[in-house]
Structure 1
Amino acid sequence: MGRGLRVLAVDDMPVALERISRLLRESPEVAEVCEAGDPLTALDLIRTRHFDALFIDVAMPGMSGLALAQLLTRLTEPPLVVFVTGYDEHAADAFDLGAVDYVRKPVGADRLAAALRRVVKMLPAAEPAPPPVPDALVSLPVEAAGRTRYVKRREVVFAEACRDTVKLHTFSGVHPVRMPLAQLAEHWEEAGFVRTHRSFLAAVGAITELRTDPTGGLVAHTELGDVPVSRRHARAVRERLFGAARATEPG
């Protein structure tokens, strides 16, 4: 390895994140350490930067560390993954996902050094070119009753913000995901979605018409119901619908 490691540490507990980051920065193998307090922030960083390895907590709200690692397997050359957790029962699932190591909390310097040695051995001798990062949010993991189901973006007609949860409205039902609507919009607006309201994001192709509701408000009609369109977003919605209509015109 011709340079130090670029590492991303992911943990929703600030004290645990600070500890693992400090130990990584003190390690001679590591050149750079970035931090993420949740998996979605980690995905944003991975979309724009190259990392040799990720040190990920398993139990996190919204999206687990295992679900994050599953998304990373879709990359052409994913970063190596080391799980850092206080639980033993996920070890088998972690290694099934190709994890390099599974480290128990609290992490000691010697145990971390052993994990870093494994990472270094797994890396190619020459520095590879950063691989192209695909759209990491083309599907979202939805956890319910102890199971994880992946809802594909193309299944979603519209998304509705409800406190700290986003409800994905699909023909198969409504699926809650713990994430900010603004973060979802950031990833999906270039993939055919438009923000219609501060609390709603809709698939442009699912909007059949704009019309006025009985109270005089503007709504976007879809097969799963009407989506409110605020004055602030009305112009952008009309422009996106016009652009989509022109793109489908023959010739």
Structure 2
Amino acid sequence: MGLSVLAVDDVPAALDELCRLLRESPEVSEVAGAGDPISALKMIQNGRFGAVFLDISMPGLDGLELASLLTKLSDPPVIVFVTAHEEHAVAAFGIGAVDYLLKPLRAERLADTLARVAKRATAAPESSVDAMAALPVEIGGRTQYVRRSDVQFVEAHGDYVRLHTKTGAHLVRMPISRLQEYWESAGFARVHRGFLVALASVRELRSDAVGGLLAHTDLGDVPVSRRHSRELRERLLRAAQRGELDRRV
């Protein structure tokens, strides 16, 4: 049995094209279309769909809001966003989307996504997915993924953050306060108004020329404000006692 898929887009031509591409995919056995989020929600409540492909910019209830509602269902469908707006990618993955496709949609890109959708749809219900273990980064029209485990520290740039890794720095549209919410429980600490640091990346704490505190990483020193210094020391001590700092590469 193939996937039963619901496509949602308020632009008729875009909806028709998405449905056509889905019907031509061997992984898909049934395709239904909805021209607005409310109709889509009713169809999902009355039927069983393994996956929902959503546009984001729609009147009334946008795609992100609809997806948030779907995640609260007892047996939620796999969610994929199909949109012309790349700036919502982080929010989409934060909701738990499997993929984020940019229009115009290419058949080969859709095939890769459907393989991932099928894998997720057949996974055991109890298996959990850490949706924020990687963040999408748009580079030259292509989407790459930066793993959280590769990030040593994060620097704020207004509504963006710069993720510092050994392979380079990557800019992602997300306020640092929001990323802190997602990553704090995964070993990141807010050490300054403009910085997060991975505890496992801190080699040592140093004093700067004026007596301030610096968290030294392989990629450079991260400033630590006075209000965050005590908490950082305590978290580093707890991490060391649990042996977590010994896992650094």
Shorter-chain TM-score range? 0.5 to 0.7
The CA deviation string for residues 82-132 of structure 1, in whole angstroms up to 9 with x for no partner, is: 98x9x5543542244228xxxxxxxxxxxxxxxxxxxxxxx99xxx98443
CA distance 1:72–1:56, change in 2 (3 Å): closer
In the alignment, which of 32, 37, 61 is matched to residue 21 of structure 1?
A: 37
CA distance 1:224–1:25, change in 2 (3 Å): closer
Q: Equivalent residue for 2:3? A: none
Quick one: distance in 2 between partners of 1:205 and 1:146? 32
Say if 1:142 and 1:149, in contact at 8 Å, map to a contact too.
yes
Q: Which runs of 5+ in 1 are unaligned?
A: 1-6, 12-18, 74-80, 100-122
In the alignment, which of 76, 94, 101 is matched to residue 51 of structure 1?
A: 76
CA distance 1:210–1:53, change in 2 (3 Å): closer
1:212 aligns with 2:211: no
In the alignment, which of 86, 93, 98 is matched to residue 109 of structure 2?
A: 93
Q: Equivalent residue for 2:193? A: 198
Secondary structure, counterpart of 2:185 in structure 1: helix
1:141 aligns with 2:136: yes
In the alignment, which of 33, 44, 60 is matched to residue 85 of structure 2?
A: 60
Provide the aligned length of Structure 1 versus Structure 2: 197
CA distance 1:196–1:133, change in 2 (3 Å): same
Secondary structure, counterpart of 2:214 in structure 1: strand
- Percent identity over paired residues: 40
Q: Equivalent residue for 2:181? A: 186
Quick one: distance in 2 between partners of 1:153 and 1:47? 26
CA distance 1:173–1:43, change in 2 (3 Å): farther
Q: Equivalent residue for 1:104? A: none
1:160 aligns with 2:185: no
Quick one: distance in 1 between partners of 2:155 and 2:69? 21
The CA deviation string for residues 222-249 of structure 1, in whole angstroms up to 9 with x for no partner, is: 1211111122222221111111222239
Quote how far apart the aligned CAs of 1:24 are.
2.4
Instruction: Report the residue type matching 1:202 in the other structure.
Output: V
Q: Equivalent residue for 2:18? A: none
Say if 1:196 and 1:230, in contact at 8 Å, map to a contact too.
yes
Quick one: distance in 2 between partners of 1:162 and 1:175? 11
Quote how far apart the aligned CAs of 1:148 are.
2.0
Instruction: Report the residue type matching 1:172 in the other structure.
Output: T
Question: For structure 1, which segment, 187-196 or 130-139, has the greater mean C-alpha deviation from structure 2 after superposition?
Answer: 130-139
Quote how far apart the aligned CAs of 1:48 are.
9.8
CA distance 1:37–1:220, change in 2 (3 Å): farther
- TM-score normalised over the length of structure 2: 0.61
4+ residue runs over 6 A deviation: none
Give the alignment's Cα RMSD to 1 decimal: 4.4
Quick one: distance in 2 between partners of 1:45 and 1:218? 45
Instruction: Report the residue type matching 1:54 in the other structure.
Output: I
Quick one: distance in 2 between partners of 1:132 and 1:160? 32
Say if 1:168 and 1:176, in contact at 8 Å, map to a contact too.
yes
Quick one: distance in 2 between partners of 1:51 and 1:185? 27
Quote how far apart the aligned CAs of 1:216 are.
2.9
Q: Equivalent residue for 1:229? A: 224
CA distance 1:209–1:48, change in 2 (3 Å): farther
CA distance 1:186–1:50, change in 2 (3 Å): farther
